Structure 1
């Protein structure tokens, strides 16, 4: 192992540890990149590597993906402030009732996140309803974070065909795919994650109740709260923007763009390859039109539409720049001599089947960064072309590569230092000791089982 390789590993584990301690990735990523360069002995290259490599990769990432971050955040804020999110949650509550509190929370979170609502917005919107339902059903409160995580952090983020989550968009420019890549395998993976997670939470909660454990004394005022639904948006109207964003995405992906004549585009932008961009264009157009639809149908409901749009816009900045900074870090690491050894090791895992190697790489980097989008971006930035080449050599569909990469990145990203997990626990007023074991079961064990099944089925039957 070379000095440069050791430097890379040291910087990676420091990045993981310090992120767990709560230091922002915005400052951690460039500092840890500089440390890796310094420990590698390339002192004279630190300034140009920062300005050219780090900032170049950061800028390129934002050029590709910032519209999805921005529009997704605005769409989610519109859903929340229009009352649509609350209406959907109340609808599930009426249909299933407090007796099925876990299933209700999972399905409500899944419906919102599959429709494009930010998982943080979902957690804030659903928790007040979830705690009342769990209290009425006398289920331990410590299972609420696991139920929210199952609905918001797993199959709707990485596996369901067409999900507008940023994780599902990241592989598009690398593999020339779209958000509906390998839809059959995605559905199978979704069923595995949902069923395993629901079984786990239900079995553990029932066991706790049988042992005499109830909601618990959490001093959260739940005994004085009710699930109210005053002046709620009609549920069919509340669901319409969620359906629209998926439907428009599919329409542009499978009908409009495949039959479109891009000759005028080619004349204006000779270096642009439309086939590499239509997947991203589809999701951007779908989000724009769905935002407009939301504004129209809730026209009389806005307390302050300008504030809602501003809040969504500002809310997109931190996740976008956090992820872009991690991509910049990955570009610096990939430029170091020691990365060749790491790259050869990862690509050498399960020779002959790049799907296994890809799953290992995505899982490892998502775990280290505590971010599925960050780990996915770093891995594809550095290894994407190699996996595409290996896929072609082994007659593996790029769509299958896409789905395996996204599902794998959505597994170990929820290790204890993950910012989303820390935020979720804070929203629920709980800690790692109380709830993390159940979060880990549904967000790590479930996706690992799902990606294993997808790799096996994809290897045997190909992409479908």
Structure 2
């Protein structure tokens, strides 16, 4: 009965989340259903397991949600994201429209801009470019997914995405874990994704397909759609409802002022991770008032938080005249972080209850018994949980909360570098999360005015297939050569 309850609870969570119900309600209810089937005390599981673990997730990662959302909103309202997108389009020209859209998305998201901010700015630009170049409108979502939701989320070293931050406290790693393997994975995702999109474009041109019938701009309507909002906030760290708040400038930022904050994020993150923090005397962290922790457990989050703070200050300094409603903009960014953070924390609470049930021992044994070694079993675990929850961050945290310590012990016994574990876990979480019920996919299609039937095959090819291919290569190289 306990194992049945686990699957019933998970099934309820997936089913109703896909229908647009709030995860804030669904996750505790699903957790209690699983506990009920297992004959476990309900109130104790609610207050001592669910809430404690959800609060623990917020305590660790809310600074990244908060600072990332504020930075994204500042970049949007100052016109910086628009400037980057326009610059890429002009530089690459009409003959390389797809590459321009992909690289514009990659540049802003690797620089720390929230995914949904990138969506709402790049989609209108992409529609204009694709129309002028007579490329089918149905390829726009796939081009944006490739640039914003694959290698810059999970593979490129130093990316400030929440997915790249989650393994750091578990493994004591930095955002630049396994940089060589991350770069190789990024090149695989980018090159194979571009190959597929150019192949699809060439096939459409031979068939005389063209851009297709245009539709009205539904960007603002999608931002206000409650169904889109509920699905989106479990997928990434920005509440799309806040896109309508603040004050967006009518004068785009100069391209240098737009790009510099993105460079600051990467540069400060690197310096903090590899130079500043390793040299600090932080013996005080062992004191009870600081949680009796260690630098390894907090360094990753500290470096990303400092990098985003530096980028926020840089954005304000460079774009002061283009931010006439600075308080409203920053308020909107702060508010945009709350619902996504609490939604993912609720998924973490659900996973903690499930992992605490006696029946979960069977699942743990099955996962660890998967042939191929710890790296393969870790990749499978993160893939499955990210697929079921439709959330890379939620699935990754659930997997590491339940199995993280086990994998640390396995790494110590087998000689696997924890940096390699980190990179495999993150890439694994960013593959099957892009299933039809994924909030980012649903939101992007709504913003583009398209359906799954129109565009989902191409999203699968550039978002899932390329990431799985990169994951296989990283595991193979890591197993043979170790982390580098």
CA offsets 1:297-341 (integer angstroms, 9 cap, x no match): 101111311111011111111111111000000000011111000
Cα distance in 1 for residues equivalent to 2:285 and 2:362: 42
Q: Corresponding residue for 2:44?
A: 48
Question: What SS does structure 2 have at the residue aligned with 1:219?
Answer: coil
1:317 equivalent in alignment to 2:313:
no
Cα distance in 1 for residues equivalent to 2:115 and 2:285: 36
Cα distance in 2 for residues equivalent to 1:142 and 1:205: 10
Question: What SS does structure 2 have at the residue aligned with 1:414?
Answer: coil
Unaligned segments of structure 1, at least 5 residues: 223-228
1:151 equivalent in alignment to 2:147:
yes
Q: 1:293 Cα deviation (Å)?
A: 1.0
CA offsets 1:389-419 (integer angstroms, 9 cap, x no match): 1111110000000000000000000100111
Q: Corresponding residue for 1:180?
A: 176
Q: 1:79 Cα deviation (Å)?
A: 0.8
Q: 1:38 Cα deviation (Å)?
A: 1.6
CA offsets 1:15-60 (integer angstroms, 9 cap, x no match): 2222222222111111111111122233xx1111101100010000
Cα distance in 1 for residues equivalent to 2:285 and 2:125: 49
Of 358, 372, 375, the residue aligned with 1:355 is: 375
Q: 1:271 Cα deviation (Å)?
A: 1.5
Cα distance in 1 for residues equivalent to 2:175 and 2:282: 21
1:280 equivalent in alignment to 2:276:
no
Q: Corresponding residue for 1:129?
A: 125
Determine if contact 2:379/2:425 at 8 Å carries over to the other structure: yes
Cα distance in 2 for residues equivalent to 1:269 and 1:327: 23
Cα distance in 2 for residues equivalent to 1:202 and 1:27: 43
Cα distance in 2 for residues equivalent to 1:339 and 1:318: 29
Q: Corresponding residue for 1:271?
A: 292
TM-score, reference length from structure 2: 0.91
Q: 1:164 Cα deviation (Å)?
A: 0.2
Cα distance in 2 for residues equivalent to 1:392 and 1:358: 15
C-alpha distance 189-369 of structure 1, shift in aligned 2 (>3 A): same
Question: What SS does structure 1 have at the residue aligned with 2:320?
Answer: coil
Q: 1:265 Cα deviation (Å)?
A: 5.1
Determine if contact 1:370/1:414 at 8 Å carries over to the other structure: yes
Determine if contact 2:79/2:251 at 8 Å carries over to the other structure: no
Unaligned segments of structure 2, at least 5 residues: 219-248
C-alpha distance 230-206 of structure 1, shift in aligned 2 (>3 A): farther
1:94 equivalent in alignment to 2:115:
no
Question: What SS does structure 1 have at the residue aligned with 2:433?
Answer: helix
Cα distance in 2 for residues equivalent to 1:231 and 1:98: 24
Q: Corresponding residue for 2:67?
A: 71
CA offsets 1:90-129 (integer angstroms, 9 cap, x no match): 1101111122111110000000000011111100010111
Cα distance in 1 for residues equivalent to 2:311 and 2:3: 47
Cα distance in 2 for residues equivalent to 1:419 and 1:230: 30
Cα distance in 1 for residues equivalent to 2:462 and 2:291: 47
Determine if contact 1:173/1:277 at 8 Å carries over to the other structure: yes
Of 447, 453, 458, the residue aligned with 1:427 is: 447
Q: 1:14 Cα deviation (Å)?
A: 2.5
Q: Corresponding residue for 1:250?
A: 270
C-alpha distance 347-221 of structure 1, shift in aligned 2 (>3 A): closer
**How many corresponding residue pairs?**
453
Q: 1:238 Cα deviation (Å)?
A: 1.1
Cα distance in 1 for residues equivalent to 2:153 and 2:180: 16
